Amino acid sequence: MNIKIGEKIKQLRQRDGRKQEDLANALGVSPQAVSRWEANGGYPDMELIPAIANYFNISIDELFGYSTDRQEKLRSILDKADKLLNKQGDMTECVELLRAAAEEFPSEPQVLIKLGYALSMCGWQKYGAKAYTKDGSEYTHEDAEYNSKNIYWQEEIRIFEKVLTMDISSEDRDVIIMMLIMVYTSMGNTDKAKALASNQNSIITCRETLMPKATAAEERDKYQGEAIISLLTELRNVICDSVCTKISPSAKSEGVKLFVVLAHLYESIFSDGRCGIAHYHLCELYMHAAVYEARFNKNTDQAFEYFKKGFEHKKLYDSIRCTGEYEYSSPLVAKVTFPSANFPSVSPTFWKGWIEVLPEAFKESIRSDSRFAECFE
């Protein structure tokens, strides 16, 4: 037993770039004691075992070298959780699965990350979010009193705050920070949201804008394409949020123009029609335009054209998901490839959400067209 523990301690210490003195100070023992353990001249007192495992962010089983079965179990749990998350159905089973896993694997970041995702989705499914308007204001306001009672989002915050203290990838960190800022704001914790946001890098120094400057020739072309896709996505997010949180009729009317202009920008960049993940973005832009055109401008014919374009892009998006490595081909993004399995899945209630906000008369005209039958399934 001491040989396994000693070898494991040395391996973990070297993995983390730590000295024997660092571990000794953390445990309250002498550096000589750590040296003896690693040299197989003895082993730690049993009361030190949990502290050593915690220091290296592993389980006690892993410290003793008995991690194979646990790793297989962990992999099985994560695979099942991924399938449930991708289905975007009722998240109750997924939350229960990952809560139990978090008890068993408290130091495993991926369990907690996926639990946070599931809690976020469950919060939307069980409670949703509310907002309200104020007389004389053209803006919507979060109903913090209602939203803050969402027990799933309360747990999501606790989980994600813990995850941000752990060793996770920059990609995971970016997503979690974005989700935390959004849920903080929705629940009225704007000071926390602003503090977290202000501590992040400026768009000027983000990875997407810096990689093209750090490379050359074909490699630079690839990173420039990735930057275009990423920045275009964020531009869409900002414009949609800006338009959708203003309530004045003039803002809604101008909003239609902005949605369509942005859609045309997408179509200019993806000039050959191979839009990849942007098919989904284009679907949402045209659906926003259709809803606003039908509700505020009362232009049914134009709204129908926007709806049809949105529907077509949704069909194209569905047809490319999980079909292998997706290769963009328009000039500005021709060097970019992306695994289509990583394109976000679409909620089974996607069409229900859009159909519900359409005017009744326009909704019936859509229902009467057999091409759009799936929107009402």
Tell me the C-alpha distance between 321 and 87, whole Å. Answer: 13
Tell me the C-alpha distance between 278 and 314, whole Å. Answer: 10
What confidence tens digit (pLDDT) does each residue in 227-273 have? 999 999 999 999 999 888 887 766 678 889 999 999 999 999 999 99
Helix ranges (DSSP H) in the chain: 2-15, 20-27, 31-38, 49-55, 60-63, 68-87, 92-104, 109-126, 144-147, 151-163, 170-186, 190-198, 207-214, 217-244, 249-269, 278-292, 300-320, 350-356, 360-367
Residues 6+ apart with CB under 8 A from 136: none
CA dihedral sign, ordered 227, 233, 238, 239: positive
Tell me the C-alpha distance between 329 and 269, whole Å. Answer: 10
Q: How far is CA 161 from CA 157, 164, 171, in A?
A: 6, 5, 16
57: left (phi over 0), alpha (psi -120 to 50) or beta: left
Tell me the C-alpha distance between 13 and 29, whole Å. Answer: 15
Tell me the C-alpha distance between 315 and 346, whole Å. Answer: 11
pLDDT of res. 281 = 98
Mapped onto helix, strand or coil, the DSSP state of residue 322 is coil
- pLDDT digit string (tens) for the chain, length 377 residues: 444 788 889 988 888 888 999 999 999 999 999 999 888 888 899 889 999 988 888 878 778 776 666 778 899 999 999 999 988 889 999 999 999 999 988 889 999 999 999 999 999 999 999 999 887 788 889 999 999 999 999 999 999 999 999 999 998 999 999 999 999 999 999 999 999 999 999 999 999 999 999 999 999 999 999 999 999 999 999 999 988 888 776 667 888 999 999 999 999 999 999 999 999 999 999 999 999 999 988 899 999 999 999 999 999 999 999 999 999 999 999 999 999 988 998 988 899 999 999 999 999 999 999 999 999 98
Token look-up 């892993």 returns: 62
Token look-up 């394109």 returns: 343
Tell me the C-alpha distance between 164 and 120, whole Å. Answer: 16
Q: How far is CA 330 from CA 219, 271, 338, 339, in A?
A: 16, 6, 14, 17
Tell me the C-alpha distance between 41 and 3, whole Å. Answer: 9
Which residues are bridge partners to 132 per DSSP? 141
What does pTM read for this prediction?
0.75
Tell me the C-alpha distance between 198 and 27, whole Å. Answer: 36
| Among the listed residues 229, 235, 230, the one whose alpha carbon sits nearest the alpha carbon of residue 332 | 229
pLDDT of res. 1 = 41
Residue 8 CA, distance from chain mean position: 35
pLDDT of res. 252 = 74
